[in-house]
Structure 1
Amino acid sequence: MATTRHATAHWSGDLKTGSGSISTPQSGLMADTAYGFNTRFGEGNPDAKRGTNPEELIAAAHASCFTMALSHALAQAGHAPDAVDTRAEVDLSMDGGPTISAIRLETKAKVPGIDEAGFRAIADDAKQNCPVSKALSAVPITLKAELLG
């Protein structure tokens, strides 16, 4: 049995002057959250901070999925983590047209009773096997994993 989640997007106008909104009605997290050309391509533009963009949403999805997968895998191996914090960066390359060209995961975890090699092996497996990593497998994904004292 599959679990289905959904979101909605609306757009009006052309790419550069138009605008859109994204909603996540099941959770209510986003309700008509703005997105547009400036929130996606407008680095340094004050309007770039007034909304979201697809790459930011992919980064959020990937960071949260990987963190859950890593936490679960560590617990399954007998090392439930005290804390796991992950940052995901998604690169949008404009070479040859807009393409998601790279994803970098950086995680820091406090995990009692595990050595660096064991932690790294579990983190690498979580990177390969979290559902979002699998969905994004066409994009190079790197992982920097740090075990905290």
Structure 2
Amino acid sequence: MTTRTGSARYDGLGKDGKGHVSTQSGVLSDSPYGFNTRFEDEPGTNPEELIAAAHASCFTMALSFALAGAGHADGTLETKAAVKLEKDGAGFKVTRSDLTLTASVPGIDQAEFDRIAQEAKANCPISKLLNAEITLQASLT
């Protein structure tokens, strides 16, 4: 079992509050977040952006290992994830994560590529974590 940690601190409340988020690895270290970074254009991060990065990286790694397991030795995979945050009654809800994949894998046909990509989408740990619709648009070049 592997455990990774992240932490957040929020000083003040509501729109006037300011937060900072950090990760165990130090990739994020007191990175600012708050209402203005989440809903406006202030520099900093937000939870949805972090989930999108986690989902894109998890799916891409899962696909890489699945392709290698199917006997493919080389390739390039690039994934973007767009996480949707929508109003849900009095609050908000993450409703979906749209994955867009561009890949170059020599020697693979479209049917095999699609099958392996869909399996990776369904089985990456972050896909399993999210209780939202997850879509995938994949293109092979």
Would you say same fold, with TM above 0.5? yes
| Selected match of 1:130 from 124, 128, 131 | 124
| Fraction of identical pairs, as percent | 57
Stretches of 4+ aligned residues off by more than 3 angstroms:
none
1:101 equivalent to 2:95? Answer: yes
Residue 37 of structure 1 is matched in structure 2 by 35
Aligned length: 140
Per-residue deviation, residues 16-46 of structure 1 (Å, max 9, x unmatched): 010000011x31111100000011111xx4x
| Selected match of 2:113 from 106, 112, 119 | 119
Residue 26 of structure 2 is matched in structure 1 by 28
Per-residue deviation, residues 72-124 of structure 1 (Å, max 9, x unmatched): 00010011342000000000001422000111000011101110000000000
Q: Secondary structure at the match of 1:16?
A: helix
Q: TM-score, normalised by structure 1?
A: 0.91
| Unaligned segments of structure 2, at least 5 residues | none
Q: TM-score, normalised by structure 2?
A: 0.96
Of Structure 1 and Structure 2, the greater strand share is in 2
